[in-house]
Chain A
Amino acid sequence: MPRLSLNRLFSTAPASEQAVLFSIIAIVTILSAVPMGRLMLEGVAPGGSFGLTVAQDVLTTRSTWIAAWHSIQVAVGGTIIAVLLGGTVALLVALTDIRGKTVFTFCFVLPLMIPPQVTALAWLQVFGPASPMLKSFGIAPPLGTPNPLHSATGIIALLGIHYAPLVFLTLRAGLRNLPFELMEAAKASGARWYTVLRTVVLPLMTPPLVAGVALAFVSSVGNFGIPALLGIPARYSVLTTLIFRRLAGFGPSALAEIAVLSVLIGIIAVSGILVQAWMLRGRDFRVVNVSAKIQPYQIGRWRPAVETAGWVVILGILVLPLVALVFTALVPAYGVKLTFATATLENLSYVINDHAATKRAFVNSFLLAGGAAIILVPLCVLLAYFLVWRSSPILRVLNFTAELPYALPGVVLAIAAILIFIKPLPFFGLSIYNTVWIILVAYIARFLTLELRPIISGFHQIDRGLEEAAQMSGAGLIYRLRTVILPLVAPAAAAGALLVFLTAFNELTVSALLWSSGAETLGVVVFSLEEGGFSTQAAAVAVLTVIVTVGLMLLLSLAGGRMPKGAVPWHD
């Protein structure tokens, strides 16, 4: 390993490149390390003076530990469901010859892209006595029956369904790189499919499987939309909803206390990642020479049954809640049966034309998501350039910190952003707290990794010689970027930007804590409408966001062929 020295880092770069590199390092530090540092500081030095009394108070309060225990409980439960469901489906899709894999994969991954608050809202329409769908079919339980989803079990089930695609995607990516010969060798040794699975496939797939488990766990711990819509009415609090209610109830005066809670949720998430590292310690999972693509098992007469089972799952986890959601969006009032006589587009028309907050939210979410996606393109292209082609120790550390705002629960970043921006910025005298700009900054910090990853894989697939040839021709960094590098990484950058747009457009966790009147996002509006009892309008907004989500995903799928391999997560 080369020693960490500025001299080495900059020795081959001319002055203009050094300036660019310094700016990138500064920006990424401000977006990642600074917020995390600021939050930790608040934990031990609330309001700027050192003292552990606040931390001690928070950590000795019963409600803190009840919420923490609930967080772990639902996250573990959700993860188990996600792994069983996502893992099984990944094995079936990657290893068998079932038909229609592309469409199936798209449908199976869709629940992950639909925002959690919409998932929760849709599922609430599937059960419960006032469900317009159940009423329409005459199978609604009697009035007064509680909705079974307003419970820990409900939260666990929805977290599991929501994050199963996450496990599916990581495991499938691993299975793609599994050399076909290893399975062939086992088959040639006389092993039946279940033996091959148990002795070859699953052992080698430990890293992606464990990574999927860690991802699902960390995401579940940080999820806000599902426990907010299902848990708050049932007085079942987890850490994210506890933080939300404290901030909503006490405002900035409770910031020190909230910061401690955020650190606590961060620690739970990090321990999930550490368990992953510990499970994989000292074992060798490297597979040599990936030569042939994996050959699917011919499952013969079982195929129709497996295919049917797969589509029944899609029906259950995707179609059923969405249909329930549409029913609710189309009835004039919650609890009314949907018939040709009662069906109305009033809710949709109301939220599009008359409801000021929704109209603002559409514009805000569109501009915030688009703004973050576009601002991140040049930043991530430069960062990836220096990471992949000018690999340097400082940047590798920076790459790790840049992951934190996305890897850690969104509330952690949101609280850090409040702490940084609640007072006007020094030197500039500028205050962006309570404006839409604080959300933009938080989105840029949070989704940086999401845009960076496809661009990094794009760079890995480009021959470095193409840039060196431009250097040889006399082109400086900026000229090379414009004429050679950007055109070559454009597909990857587009994929990254679309992913960021898709995610940010539906985002709730960060904006729920940062929004202010006039700066609502779509996520906030759905949540507020449902909280306020306007389920039909909430459903109408939710239906619209689902339509936008599916549209963008289709766009990404269609463009997938031109993107570098792996840039669009669900695309082959």
Chain B
Amino acid sequence: MARLSLESVTKKFGTFTAVDGVNLTVEDGEFLAVLGPSGCGKTTLLRLVAGFEAVSAGSIRLGDKLMSDKRTHVPTERRRIGIVFQSYALWPHMSVFENVGYPLRVAKFSGAAYTERVESALAMVGLEGFGHRPPAELSGGQRQRVALARCFVMEPQIVLLDEPLANLDVHLRASMEEEFADFHRRTGTTMIYITHDQAEAMALADRIAVMDEGELVQLAAPSQLYRQPATPMVADFIGQGTVVDGRVVTVNGDGACVCDLFGSATNLQCPPGIEPGAQVRVCVRPEHLALVGRDRPGVPAKVRRVTYQGGRFLVDVAPEGQADAAVLLVLPEPLELTTGETVRLSIEGGWVIPQT
């Protein structure tokens, strides 16, 4: 187990920059999720760490050893990094036992030492007695566990998981998520989990690295990521955040300020360095929003769309005068709202996105 550090890691394919100057340190034993929309460079980042691709610039270190830089490239087979592939990548011509034992065979293990280690890895993922089966006879979840056992058996320095739940049914995902968390607790292995699903990342990770267009835009604990997004993209990608325009009126120190949002003064959280009078972008979460009666102060808004989500409604409203700003509310059943109706919106919080 070791600490992984990336310094200004850049990967170019011709003129296209897939990963752009990423600095990142993953602590020993940490569970880090790399989150981003498809094409954001997260898979390339994983392939760079795994050694499948060479860096164009920057360096990757594992523990105190240099893995990649412009001149050096330790090939994957000498990195001792475990990978759980999206397709599981189990060899169809080998049994489950042979699949799990492969890294040991490569390392010239044989006899009792080989058998015992494979058995214990299978036991670790709850697949005792499945050793003789071909992978094709296993369910998706079981294959996933074989892939995990194959990583575990080689006692990797870190484990990389490449969208491991993408090919599973929705109801299987939750239980596999639990298994990953459990696996991490028991082994204490440093894990890097690549995903485009923010719920998965939130549920599992100690910290989340959000990537966009090849760059690392924010690295933070899940709750901080939710409460204090660093950019409009993060605000939009995590949770159902709405980003609206505002103007700072007063700054109260200790991270609080008052902003003018849709013509009404609103108390917000803000990062340091915000000056009164500045035009800012504000992240407003559904829980900051409520509908109020006509007698209370609020922003008049027009209902654009009401979507039933089972037990609750997602309501999309446009504040008056800003028809292009879409503000999302989550409201419980029963609800009687029709499209086109005018409501009053109260905003009871929000986060001023740092200016760049």
Could you tell me which A residues sit within 8 Å of B by CB distance?
1-3, 11-14, 463, 465-466, 468-476, 479, 483-484, 487-488
Contact = CB atoms under 8 A, between A and B. Distances in A.
27 contacts: A2-B14, A12-B53, A12-B54, A13-B75, A14-B77, A14-B78, A463-B87, A465-B88, A468-B50, A468-B52, A468-B76, A468-B85, A469-B83, A469-B85, A470-B102, A471-B51, A472-B76, A472-B81, A472-B82, A472-B103, A473-B77, A474-B80, A475-B102, A475-B106, A476-B77, A483-B105, A488-B93
B83 A472 contact: yes
B69 to A, nearest CB: 11
Contacts of B83: 468-469, 472
Contacts of A11: 54, 73
A1 B16 CA distance: 10
B112 interface: no
Interface string B62-97: 000000000001011110111101111111110000
Nearest to B160: A472
Contact of B91 (A12, A13, A14, A469): A469
B154 interface: yes
A484 B53 contact: no
A436 B89 CA distance: 45
A488 B92 CA distance: 8
A441 B134 CA distance: 42
Interface in B9-35: 13-14
A476 B151 CA distance: 17
A161 B255 CA distance: 86
B107 interface: yes
A1 B54 CA distance: 17
A463 B14 CA distance: 25
B150 A469 contact: yes
A473 B94 CA distance: 15
A474 B79 CA distance: 8
A468 B76 CA distance: 8
Nearest to B82: A472
Contacts of B107: 474
Contacts of A470: 91, 102, 106
B79 to A, nearest CB: 8
Contacts of B106: 470, 473-475, 479
B126 to A, nearest CB: 21
Nearest to B162: A465
A370 to B, nearest CB: 26
Nearest to B99: A469
Contacts of A468: 50, 52, 76, 83, 85, 89
Contact of A466 (B82, B89, B154): B89
Nearest to A464: B89
Given A12-B73, A14-B77, A468-B76, 7 more contacts: A2-B13, A11-B54, A14-B78, A469-B91, A471-B51, A473-B150, A488-B92
Nearest to A8: B54
B93 A487 contact: yes
Contacts of B102: 470, 473, 475, 483
Interface string B151-180: 100100000000000000000000000000
Interface residues of B, number: 34
Contacts of A479: 106
Contact of A474 (B52, B54, B77, B93): B77
B220 to A, nearest CB: 29
Contacts of B78: 14, 474
Contacts of A12: 51-54, 73, 75
A22 B286 CA distance: 61
Interface string B99-126: 0001101110000000000000000000
A466 B90 CA distance: 7
A471 B93 contact: no
B14 A1 contact: yes
A246 to B, nearest CB: 50
Contacts of B87: 463, 465
A472 B14 contact: no
A466 B87 CA distance: 9
Nearest to B75: A14
A470 B88 CA distance: 12
A293 B307 CA distance: 38
Contacts of B13: 2
B166 to A, nearest CB: 13
Nearest to A2: B14
Contacts of B151: 472
Nearest to A16: B75
B76 A484 contact: no
Contacts of A488: 91-93
A205 B147 CA distance: 43
Contacts of B88: 465
Which 5 pairs across A and B sit closest by C-beta, in order of nearness?
Answer: A465-B89, A473-B103, A469-B89, A471-B76, A11-B54
Contacts of B50: 468, 472
A469 B153 CA distance: 13
A116 B88 CA distance: 49
A3 B15 CA distance: 10
Contacts of B76: 468, 471-472
A117 B106 CA distance: 52
A475 B77 contact: yes
A11 B150 CA distance: 28
Contact of B75 (A3, A463, A471, A487): A471
A506 B49 CA distance: 52
Listed residue (A469, A475, A479) with the most chain B CB atoms within 10 angstroms of its CB: A469
B89 A474 contact: no
Contact of A484 (B82, B85, B91, B154): B91
Contacts of B52: 12, 468, 471
Given A2-B13, A470-B102, A475-B106, A465 B75 contact: no
B217 to A, nearest CB: 27
A473 B154 contact: yes
A475 to B, nearest CB: 5
Nearest to B50: A472
Nearest to B104: A473
Listed residue (A3, A14, A473, A475) with the most chain B CB atoms within 10 angstroms of its CB: A473
Listed residue (A3, A475, A476) with the most chain B CB atoms within 10 angstroms of its CB: A475
Contacts of A463: 87, 89
Contacts of B103: 472-474
B83 to A, nearest CB: 5
B84 to A, nearest CB: 9
Nearest to A466: B89
